[in-house]
């Protein structure tokens, strides 16, 4: 079947009560249109988790009235973006006693910071430049799992997105004061 | 109520009622779990038999409940997880801190 590029967007009002219906709409759209979208069914759950956690993050932290959720379907990938004009990303890095608030200081660029670890995985953020952050997960060894119970759940959502997707990043546009979270899923063309 | 509770001695079987275990009911779940622990349960077996979908907020409440339970010598077991729910727990390694069983019967046998 021939594959197409396609874009679909949804408006989310950054409130917990509207979250489930937006997630359901996204999932139903992908399922119903998958004849031409051709998103592998094996990653449908991961897409659902990622969208959910993006929206939860918006409901908890955005501070704006609404976000736009955009699904960009390509023949070999899906790029999910959440755009809002609310509070820029703010991460408190306890280990290093650093506050990362975007746009970040130039002196903090080009570095990896550990956001959270659960005893087997370390969620890190790489400060690509003053406007952009890339999340990634690195496996750690020889730690006891109860670490998960010490360094609890504040960043479960970011961890879920970073582990479920192929790339997870954040960009702050100073001019428009927009926050863009981007999640990429690659699949064979 | 988020949980349907069946108490058998020190053991509480707690079935999550909603299909979606999410941000909208995570706080209530946490409060009900903490109440069960504070009331002296030695084992709480949480059944996910109705749950088709779970998110990080609810998982966070589960961890908070476990943190509250551990110093009080209360165990929390999880049973009847559907594949999507179990896969998400596994993704963030929560299967390493919770004992997971097929169903209530299997969980009861180990206590």
Q: What is the mean pLDDT of residues B33-41?
A: 97
Q: Work out how many CB contacts closer than 8 A connect A with B.
A: 73
Decide if pLDDT at A3 tops 80. Answer: no
Q: What predicted TM-score, i.e. pTM, was given to this entire model?
A: 0.93
Looking at chain A, which residue has its C-alpha nearest residue B84? Answer: A45
| ipTM of the prediction | 0.91
* Rounded mean pLDDT, B21-26: 93
Verify whether the Cβ–Cβ distance A164 to B91 is below 8 Å. Answer: yes
CB-based contacts of B36, cutoff 8 Å, min separation 6: B3, B5, B12, B14, B44
B28 in A contact zone (CB under 8 Å): no
pLDDT at A189 over 60: no
Residue B43, burial from CB neighbour count under 10 angstroms (0-12, 13-18, 19+): buried
CA distance A52 to chain B (A): 7
Arithmetic mean of pLDDT, A79-98:
89
Q: What percent of chain A has pLDDT over 90?
A: 67
Mutate to test the interface with B, among A26, A43, A44, A49 (most CBs of B within 10 A): A49
Dump pLDDT digits (tens) for A4-43.
789 999 999 999 888 989 999 999 999 999 988 899 999 9
**Beta bridge pairs of residue A138:** A122
* pLDDT attached to residue A170: 97
**CA A137 – CA A124 distance, rounded (Å):** 6
Residues of A in contact with B88 (CB under 8 A): 45, 49, 160
Which positions in chain B touch A53 (Cβ < 8 Å)?
55-56
């Amino acid at each position: 079947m021939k594959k197409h590029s396609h874009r679909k967007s949804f408006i989310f009002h950054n409130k917990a009560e509207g979250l489930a219906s937006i997630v359901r709409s996204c999932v139903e759209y992908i399922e119903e249109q998958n004849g031409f979208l051709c998103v592998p069914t094996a990653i449908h759950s991961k897409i659902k988790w990622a969208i959910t956690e993006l929206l939860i993050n918006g409901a908890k932290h955005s501070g704006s009235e609404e976000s736009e959720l955009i699904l960009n379907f390509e023949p070999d990938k899906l790029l999910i973006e959440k755009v809002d004009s609310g509070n820029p990303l703010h991460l408190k890095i306890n280990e290093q006693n650093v506050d990362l608030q975007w746009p970040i200081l130039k002196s903090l660029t080009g570095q990896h910071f550990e956001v959270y670890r659960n005893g087997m995985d370390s969620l890190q953020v790489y400060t690509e430049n003053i406007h952009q952050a890339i999340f990634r997960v690195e496996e750690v060894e020889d730690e006891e799992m109860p670490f998960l119970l010490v360094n609890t759940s504040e960043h479960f959502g970011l961890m879920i997105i970073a582990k479920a997707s192929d790339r997870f990043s954040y960009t702050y546009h100073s001019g428009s004061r927009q926050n863009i979270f981007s999640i990429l899923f690659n699949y064979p063309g | 109520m988020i949980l349907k509770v069946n108490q058998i001695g020190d053991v509480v079987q707690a079935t999550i009622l909603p299909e979606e275990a999410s941000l909208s009911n995570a706080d209530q779940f946490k409060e009900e779990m903490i109440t069960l622990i504070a009331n002296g349960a030695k084992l709480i077996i949480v059944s996910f038999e109705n749950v088709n979908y779970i998110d990080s907020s609810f998982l966070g409440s589960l961890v908070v409940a476990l943190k509250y339970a551990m110093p009080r010598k209360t165990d929390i077991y999880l049973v009847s997880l559907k594949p999507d729910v179990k896969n998400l727990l596994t993704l963030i390694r929560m299967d390493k801190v919770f004992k997971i069983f097929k169903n209530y019967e299997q969980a009861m046998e180990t206590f």
